[in-house]
Structure 1
């Protein structure tokens, strides 16, 4: 199911069964942009089928919000120019050499390269793990990239986040929409889930400065701006 937010902004909701995040779509007069590439070919196919049924064109570009598997492992099956920040591409390049045997996956859990939740969800999404193919991006940027899609622009901004070192948001000023991936989540990869105070405060400050009305988070329902900021300012979790 694809949900229409505006005449130019659409998204497919998250699915907790195999940790599928939302996938976004921005329609310009000349080009269209997909936000995040999903966790598998099946995820991508479901999204493409949904936009096709709405009469929307296949996306020309796909932008990645960060490197975690659920946002990137569908990239190889998206027939569009892919875009990621430099750090994300480094992680993708590293993961492209991973093996997907039980032994290799167990070793990554032991050495901290992966976490149990992701390991479990990958096994659920991929009955045949030989289907996993990690692809790097076609276009790589450092901190910011602006895309003119035709009467609508999208700004890709790398921001501070506790969740990962490579988090990017896709900001659509004209529509006052912000695709935020998982940027508001904790760091789950170093023991107890935590937020880092400096990064959290920097993110809240940036959100306050950006002129948006709705934020689309990867694994929850969309937030109104004031609700998102209030949620972040009143977190009942460990902040260090």
Structure 2
């Protein structure tokens, strides 16, 4: 079972689960209000989070969504509080409301290329035969960003986009020096070949580097990243983007120069990152 983890008296998170694509869920506890970050991928996921928060006396008042993907929004009906998203996220969720999530409909969308096989399989595992999925619209919608005062704790929400999902938003808590990144730094999965694009990733890195954070939450990483680890991840993305540009998408040439620069063999993450950039070139 996922176990609620305490970072401080004002910051908690529930770790992710890879098998059914459960992302990290966050709780920001101010003196006046508590904000949850993302709703989870099912009623069971959301209920687990709320129950563990309740066991330590924390009740939710607000919910913010980092983007529209199913694993971040399907738990919304279990969280009966005002919900916040950017305008694009709200529009994408509205489109989802007309979809069926039964096996045959999921399989058809996979065949059409409008659904990802991994996501379809994860939905089947998370929900089994119970598919009473009701996708709810957010109640508070912003354009580019908004700031919420929870009482001695500030939440700065910014729409940053990226390859993974163009509606991606991040949440920065300056008092905790914490940044919830959501999925924005992951590749575009809704493509024939998973990919990064040079222009989008360099723009996104520039947006993220302005935040003075010591702890970084990426939705599907098993644990938060330190400042150094996060900087190293951004540097890998930046270096690979620039090498892809320099070598015009030549995968072998990119690998050779990166190997030379690092003076060692490339690891699995580095090789995968190169492939994703080549796919998007």
Tell me if TM exceeds 0.5: yes
- Runs of 4+ aligned structure 1 residues displaced above 3 Å come to none
Alignment pair present for 1:219 and 2:216 = no
Greater RCO, 1 or 2 (C-alpha within 8 Å, sep 6+): 1
Q: In structure 1, what is the Cα distance between the partners aligned to 2:225 and 2:131?
A: 37
Q: In structure 2, what is the Cα distance between the partners aligned to 1:210 and 1:93?
A: 31
Q: Could you give the per-residue CA deviations for residues 197-222 of structure 1, whole angstroms, max 9, x where no partner exists?
A: 11111122122211111111111121
The aligned counterpart of 1:28 is 30
Q: Could you give the per-residue CA deviations for residues 154-197 of structure 1, whole angstroms, max 9, x where no partner exists?
A: 01100031100110011101110001111110001111111111
Q: Which structure has the larger Rg?
A: 2
The aligned counterpart of 1:13 is 15
Cα root mean square deviation, aligned:
1.2
The aligned counterpart of 2:43 is 41
Q: How does 1:1-240 map to 2 (within 5 A)?
A: 1-56=3-58, 58-220=59-221, 221-235=223-237, 236=270, 237=273, 238-239=276-277, 240=281
Q: Which stretch of structure 1 is more off in the superposition, 201-210 or 41-50? A: 201-210
Normalised TM-score (structure 2): 0.82
Equivalent pairs counted in the alignment come to 239
Q: Could you give the per-residue CA deviations for residues 101-130 of structure 1, whole angstroms, max 9, x where no partner exists?
A: 333212211222211000000000112343
Q: Could you give the per-residue CA deviations for residues 22-81 of structure 1, whole angstroms, max 9, x where no partner exists?
A: 10000011111000000011001110111111222x110000001111100001111111
Q: Where in structure 2 are there 5+ consecutive unaligned residues?
A: 238-269
* Structure with greater proportional helix content: 2
The aligned counterpart of 2:263 is none
SS at match of 2:162: coil
1:160 and 1:202 in contact (8 A); partners too: no
